Amino acid sequence: MNETTKRTVLVSGSTSGIGEAIATAFARDGATVVVNGRDQERTEAAAGRIRSATGHDGLLPVAADLGTAEGARTVFDAVPEVDVLVNNLGIFGATPFMEITDEEWHHYFEVNVLSGVRLARHYIPGMVRRGWGRVIFISSESSLMIPTEMVHYGMTKTAQISVSRGLAQTVAGSGVTVNTVLPGPTLTPGVETFIADRVGADLPFAEAEARFIAEERPTSLLRRLIRPEEVAGLVHYVGSDASSATTGATLRVDGGLIPMIIP
């Protein structure tokens, strides 16, 4: 048994999209993979899909709302220690700035930022004791190019970069690395709905995708939506032994959308 198969990987918000693709990538390694979502049925269904796709039985579905402290405690009780923590959970939605309520600001911060803070605070000390660990925050190109239609979302994605860098400094020299991955617009069920709302639900999706990229994300060099598996490939690397010299970094898998040399 190699070291990878002995490890436990927790991917928050992994019942679809990028999170499910990341969980699938680690399952192929033979690691124990904790699949997380708010709904028990959806969480178990995602674990089943990953099991079918990989032939791997080491899937642990844990249903809990990690946007709350109570939900975090549910995960801690079920999974006391992990070796790789992927803070993927996130929500987004277009709301004009003047219409974003205090409650919505708080909710976005709880789900997109505090969920990862709580998980990292709990799991990092064990990683440090063992002398090995990987913590990865899934941010967004919106952290650097704040979208006018969802300023509250962009704020949380920028905050994740700050938290990640500060944590990397906190555990310097311990064998634990902390990094942020910035996906660009990615084809997930949520993004498919978002695009339909932005450019028109009556268009064939291929046409809607092209129009969205051309009109709302014109700096993309990929000229299409990224696929979840393309994001998962970078996250899988960052969560591996091969990435041991990569820490405190902000890594882009944005399809060239961010028009700058460094993030």
Q: Would you give the DSSP letter of residue 186? A: B
Residues with a known catalytic role: 153
Residue 262 half-sphere exposure, CB side, CA atoms within 13 Å?
Answer: 2
The average pLDDT across 213-221 equals 95
Which two three-digit tokens encode residue 225?
């939506």
Residue 1, pLDDT > 60, answer no
Strand order in the sheet with 32-37: 59-63, 32-37, 8-11, 84-87, 133-138, 176-183, 250-253
**In the predicted model, is pLDDT for residue 83 greater than 80?**
yes
pLDDT tens column, 155-173: 999 999 999 999 999 999 9
Q: What is the mean pLDDT of the chain?
A: 96
The four Cα atoms 28, 3, 85, 34 give a dihedral, to 10 degrees, of 50
Share of the chain above pLDDT 70, in %: 98
Give the mean pLDDT of 121-135.
Answer: 98
In this prediction, residue 4 carries a pLDDT of 66
Average pLDDT over residues 30-52: 98
Domains assigned to the chain: 4-186+227-252 (3.40.50.720), 192-225 (no CATH)
d(CA 13, CA 122): 17
